[in-house]
């Protein structure tokens, strides 16, 4: 058996190997809790050695501990379950079924994903050399999953960490004038999907706007897409080339449904993300053919200033947290309190996702 040693925990580029023990009440014996730092997520809930849990033991423990686990996710922003027997998509599906699902699912999502098991999706098929910056899941849509769960089936040989960041820390670092501007404005989101069948022709996807609308909506039916968009308050526009444009309005900040605290939950700062030296020509070609070019705007059609975008990205870099996955790890995040992303990687990697209410 290969023993995987944790790489140092990184917080905004600073490295620490420390651990803070956390007392766990209401979870029974056989587990202990710790964090890398007292004020940062996540809370690790790890089995005591020797770990002799069976899968049925773990699932039964999860069922009986659900209320307490929910409370710990809310309190700490996220938890990592480590050392428990979890190895396959079907096992993760059984685990995920213990939690209430986000019923709208990932229909209409921006990242290319396939269903792996009941209630379980790929994390993404975006090419491995891209860093996916911190974001709240489905931050480009008015409706969003309150929580997201990750299962590391196979950690990458190098890189591939699922980075996270505390949105409490983000809001504390956000300049007061920019915060007030975001609170006062609504956001208009324009997204484009390629014609049906486009994603199926690629093993990985090198640009999100190459995703076929059938892959995003898990259907071949335009009528079903229109019905789903109508239910979610999204305007759907079918273009002559078979591509699909979605237009939606939402708030720039979102109150937490339990605590009421406001969190930044949108992608106003990402308009130039795909205009890097490596992707700028591809982005220009794609958007040059769009009747309604993709972008995220304030309701008056303006965008954030370069200085405002730069400030937000500086904050993302400052709050970024990273540590090494272990095979079998499960992480559940409060989607408003904790943002997530992905580091570039090499070698095989498999991280699966489930969306929870």
How much is the pTM?
A: 0.90
Do residues 274 and 296 both lie within one domain?
Answer: yes
Do residues 289 and 350 both lie within one domain?
Answer: no
Question: Count of CB atoms within 10 A of residue 101's CB?
Answer: 15
Q: Is 282 within 8 Å of 246 (Cβ atoms)?
A: no
Do residues 144 and 203 both lie within one domain?
Answer: no
Per-residue model confidence (pLDDT) at position 205: 74
Distance (Å, whole) CA 217 – CA 149: 21
Bridge partners of residue 296, in order along the sequence: 189
Distance (Å, whole) CA 40 – CA 337: 11
Do residues 14 and 159 both lie within one domain?
Answer: yes
Q: Is 280 within 8 Å of 207 (Cβ atoms)?
A: no
Tokens of 206: 């090198």
What is the mean pLDDT, run by run of 10 residues, along the chain of 357 residues?
45 74 92 91 93 94 98 98 97 98 89 86 86 93 96 95 96 96 94 84 73 91 96 94 96 96 94 73 84 91 93 94 95 98 95 97
Do residues 91 and 44 both lie within one domain?
Answer: yes
Q: Would residue 4 count as lying in a domain?
A: no
Tokens of 42: 């996540």
Per-residue model confidence (pLDDT) at position 1: 21
Do residues 160 and 195 both lie within one domain?
Answer: no
The gap between the terminal CA atoms of the chain, to the nearest Å, is: 36
Do residues 209 and 335 both lie within one domain?
Answer: no
Q: Would residue 2 count as lying in a domain?
A: no
Q: Would residue 3 count as lying in a domain?
A: no
Do residues 126 and 255 both lie within one domain?
Answer: no
Helix (H, G, I), strand (E, B) or coil at 96: helix
The region, left, alpha or beta by phi > 0 then psi within -120 to 50, assigned to residue 321 is beta
Q: Would residue 1 count as lying in a domain?
A: no
Q: Mind giving me the DSSP string for 113-151? A: --EEETTEEES--B-TTS-EEEE-TTTTSSS--SEEEEE
Distance (Å, whole) CA 198 – CA 195: 6
**Which one, of 290, 239, 66, 257, lies nearest residue 143 by Cα?**
257
Per-residue model confidence (pLDDT) at position 17: 67
Do residues 109 and 43 both lie within one domain?
Answer: yes
Domain count, the chain: 2
8-state DSSP, 195: P
Question: Count of CB atoms within 10 A of residue 259's CB?
Answer: 12
The region, left, alpha or beta by phi > 0 then psi within -120 to 50, assigned to residue 42 is beta
Bridge partners of residue 14, in order along the sequence: 11
Per-residue model confidence (pLDDT) at position 182: 95
Per-residue model confidence (pLDDT) at position 140: 92
How many helices (H) and strands (E) are present in the chain, helices listed first?
Answer: 8, 23
Per-residue model confidence (pLDDT) at position 3: 29
Residue in the block written with tokens 């050695």: 49
Do residues 89 and 187 both lie within one domain?
Answer: no
Q: Would residue 199 count as lying in a domain?
A: yes
Question: Count of CB atoms within 10 A of residue 114's CB?
Answer: 10
Residue after which a domain boundary falls, among 314, 332, 347: 314
Burial level of 307, CB count in 10 A (0-12/13-18/19+)? exposed
Distance (Å, whole) CA 89 – CA 121: 9
Do residues 228 and 85 both lie within one domain?
Answer: no
Question: Count of CB atoms within 10 A of residue 261's CB?
Answer: 14
Give the CATH number of the domain where residue 251 resides: 3.60.130.10
Q: Would residue 34 count as lying in a domain?
A: yes
Domain that holds residue 328: 9-164+322-356
Do residues 45 and 177 both lie within one domain?
Answer: no
Per-residue model confidence (pLDDT) at position 2: 25
């Amino acid at each position: 058996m290969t023993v995987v040693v944790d790489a140092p925990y990184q917080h905004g580029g600073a490295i620490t190997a420390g651990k803070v023990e956390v007392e766990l009440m209401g979870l029974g014996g056989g587990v202990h809790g710790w964090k890398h730092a007292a004020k940062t997520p996540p809370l690790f809930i790890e089995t005591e050695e020797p770990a002799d849990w069976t899968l049925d033991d773990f699932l039964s423990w999860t069922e009986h501990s659900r209320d307490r686990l929910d409370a710990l996710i809310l309190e700490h922003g996220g938890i990592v379950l480590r050392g428990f027997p979890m190895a396959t998509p079907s096992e993760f599906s059984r685990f995920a079924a213990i939690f209430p699902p986000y019923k709208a699912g990932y229909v209409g999502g921006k990242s290319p994903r396939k269903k792996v098991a009941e209630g379980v999706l790929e994390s993404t098929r975006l090419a491995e050399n891209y860093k996916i910056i911190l974001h709240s899941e489905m931050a480009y849509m008015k409706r969003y999953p309150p929580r997201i769960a990750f299962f590391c089936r196979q950690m990458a040989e190098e890189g591939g960490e699922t980075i996270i960041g505390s949105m409490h820390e983000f809001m504390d670092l956000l300049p007061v004038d920019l915060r007030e501007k975001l609170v006062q404005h609504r956001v208009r989101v324009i997204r484009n999907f390629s014609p049906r069948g486009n994603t199926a022709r690629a093993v990985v996807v090198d640009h999100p706007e190459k995703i076929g609308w059938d892959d995003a909506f898990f259907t071949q039916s335009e009528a079903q897409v229109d019905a789903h968009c109508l239910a979610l308050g999204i305007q759907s526009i079918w273009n002559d080339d078979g591509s699909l444009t979605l237009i939606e309005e939402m708030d720039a900040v979102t109150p937490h449904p339990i605590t009421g605290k406001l969190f930044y939950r949108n992608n106003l700062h990402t308009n130039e993300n795909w205009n890097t030296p490596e992707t700028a020509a591809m982005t220009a070609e794609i958007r040059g053919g769009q009747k309604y070019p993709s972008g995220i705007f304030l309701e008056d059609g303006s965008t954030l200033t370069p200085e405002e975008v730069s400030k937000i990205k500086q904050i993302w870099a400052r709050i970024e947290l990273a540590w090494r996955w272990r095979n079998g790890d499960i992480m559940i995040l409060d989607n408003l309190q904790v943002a997530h992303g992905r580091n570039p990687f090499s070698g095989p990697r498999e991280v699966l996702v489930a969306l929870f209410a």
